[in-house]
Chain A
Amino acid sequence: MDTEVYKIDQISVFIENKKGRFFSVTKVLKEAGVNIRAMSLADTVDFGILRFIVDKPKVAYDALMDKDFIARKNSVLAIAVDDECGGLSNLLGIITKEDLNVEYMYTFINALEKKAVMLFRFEDIDVAIEKLLSSDVELLNRDYIKNV
């Protein structure tokens, strides 16, 4: 089975923690005609890491690198959870039971009706796919995300 379809392209960008940097990144994406589907910002005192799911990952990556940003392409998994009490807890219960290491996660808001979509970066994505596919988890594939 092709598990590659579950790998959702994500772009991470290094930004300094100073005025206007976030805006500069979004401006580059706007000018490149890229639509942001989901994003998160992790920050420290000095710097931040912006992470995006976009409709055109390659275009976004090239545009950012071209404008002297440092970006990285990598893959995350998208998992749908019921938008009700205990939805996320049930999912995290499974992830814990399967002994998968989550490096970070964030949400994809308003993606599906009655469902929330969570994006997970696992330490080992292939192991995560294998274990999650055999669990009671709604793993979304690339096309699904594209059409959200």
Chain B
Amino acid sequence: MWDNPKNLLSRQDIENLQTELLRENIDYAFSNVKFYKEKFSKIGINKSSINSIEDIQKLPFTTKEDFRDNYPFGLFAVPMKNIVRIHASSGTTGKPTVVGYTKKDIDTWSDLVARVARSASVTDEDIVHIAFGYGLFTGGFGLHYGLEKLGAAIVPASSGNTKRQIMLIKDYGATVLVCTPSYAMHIAEVAKELGINPKEDLCLRVGMFGAEPWSEGLRKKLEEALGIKAYDNYGLSEAMGPGVAGECETQNGMHIYEDNFIAEIIDPDTGRPVKDGEYGELVITTLTKEALPLFRYRTRDITRLNKEKCACGSIFARMDKPIGRTDDMMIIRGVNIFPSQIEEVLFGIDGISPHYQIVINRVGALDDAVILVEANEHLFFDDMKHQRMLVDEINAELKSALGIEIKVKIVEPSSIERSIGKAKRIIDNRKI
């Protein structure tokens, strides 16, 4: 199975390795990151505080706010000379969350993604069509480098123009499809409209899907519609990007690469670990990153861990698909969005924050979101030209702040439902 002996470490080996790497990493961060030096000094933590893996609980948490407070490069442990790549994801407000990679990090990352791909049965014989956007988002480049390392032939199609994507998949004989699960469904639907039967006319055999939540129901549909086996994988840019965890051919939870990460599940309210197998917030510690070592990062994703040995032979803990978030982050078309980002744009236009609501639907296979904004005296003009200009301006601001197109619709005052005086900000009608 998956060709990598590390995947077959015993629980004891894993814990010994994790403890050792954690101790070294604490030393490393202490010497190279002011933020950690101060944080660890304050509570008297150093490498000798860690004698077993349970001792990780002595460390303080790291949060998205810490990234914001240290924007852009304050958490980096190496000089910019050693940084070879920058990626970014949504911040809760204003500035995005910035991450950096050294040459060695890119290598480690590629190895991890290669292992995720290999566990999903992908080999160097495969032709892989990547329809993730290539850019600051870690999905595109992360999968690209990992699959290249594996030796697969990559078609870096990036996002957009579905008909052309289908033509490429068909003509180049892609055997593996990499994108969000909802976009994969969209590809299946558009192919059908074009008179292409994906099962007969395409060579696809594996889908590696991620970047957004999806259900077992959607998996079955995708497998049926495209004639593939559909694998889930998990990652977040703060920890690396894709490559943190991925499903094996058993398709029963995503194996976390515990030789590179420590995963904990905590009660989001108390910060205490939950009992084995219970749901809680996933907390990730990186063990092998140079540019951006991360300690007990609160992912805000709610999931649970299964530490039993998998049918595939690996003991690596398996995480369930996240079932929700502890914050109000939304994932729309694979892009992370916080209501606070939208609020900021609206405030910038108007000077006062109007009542608004984000309504998300799934139209066909794709997410369709609209932001309802209640009209007020600043948002209403007597003539269409100005009214349109205002809407266009808000749309443009939103696109630049969010990275995807979400349109606003001006609605009448008091038409957005309020509960106990407070407007409900998100209506998510997607059946995922």
Contact = CB atoms under 8 A, between A and B. Distances in A.
B408 to A, nearest CB: 10
B270 interface: no
A56 interface: no
Interface stretch (B195-203, B242-250, B310-318, B373-381): B373-381
Contact of B413 (A44, A49, A51, A68): A68
Interface string B373-397: 0011101111111011000000000
Nearest to A45: B409
A72 interface: yes
Contact of B412 (A44, A68, A103, A121): A68
B48 to A, nearest CB: 64
Contact of A44 (B375, B380, B382, B384): B384
Given A15-B412, A16-B412, A16-B415, A70 B377 contact: yes
A110 B375 CA distance: 34
A72 B412 contact: no
Interface residues of B, number: 19
A12 interface: yes
B382 A16 contact: no
A104 B387 CA distance: 14
Contact of B382 (A21, A47, A51, A69): A51
Label chain B's interface by main secondary structure: loop
Contacts of A72: 377, 380-382
Given A70-B380, A74-B382, A47 B410 contact: yes
A14 B375 contact: yes
Most chain A beta-carbon contacts within 10 A, residue among B375, B377, B379, B382: B382
Contacts of A10: 382
Contacts of A69: 412-413
A90 B375 CA distance: 39
Contacts of B379: 70
A10 B415 CA distance: 25
A46 interface: yes
B155 interface: no
A49 B382 contact: yes
A1 interface: no
B80 to A, nearest CB: 47
Chain A contact patch, size range: 20 to 34
B414 interface: yes
A42 interface: yes
Contact of B380 (A14, A51, A68): A14
Contact of B383 (A46, A70, A104): A104
B411 interface: yes
Contacts of B388: 44
Given A15-B412, A70-B377, 13 more contacts: A10-B382, A14-B375, A14-B410, A21-B412, A44-B388, A51-B382, A69-B412, A70-B376, A70-B380, A70-B413, A72-B380, A72-B381, A103-B385
Interface of B: 375-377, 379-385, 387-388, 409-415
23 contacts: A10-B382, A14-B380, A14-B412, A15-B412, A16-B411, A44-B388, A46-B410, A47-B387, A49-B384, A49-B387, A68-B413, A68-B414, A69-B412, A70-B377, A70-B379, A70-B380, A70-B412, A70-B413, A72-B377, A72-B381, A72-B382, A74-B382, A103-B383
> Which 5 pairs between the two chains have the least Cβ-Cβ distance?
A12-B382, A70-B375, A68-B414, A14-B380, A103-B383
Interface of A: 10, 12, 14-16, 21, 42, 44, 46-47, 49, 51, 68-70, 72, 74, 103-104, 121
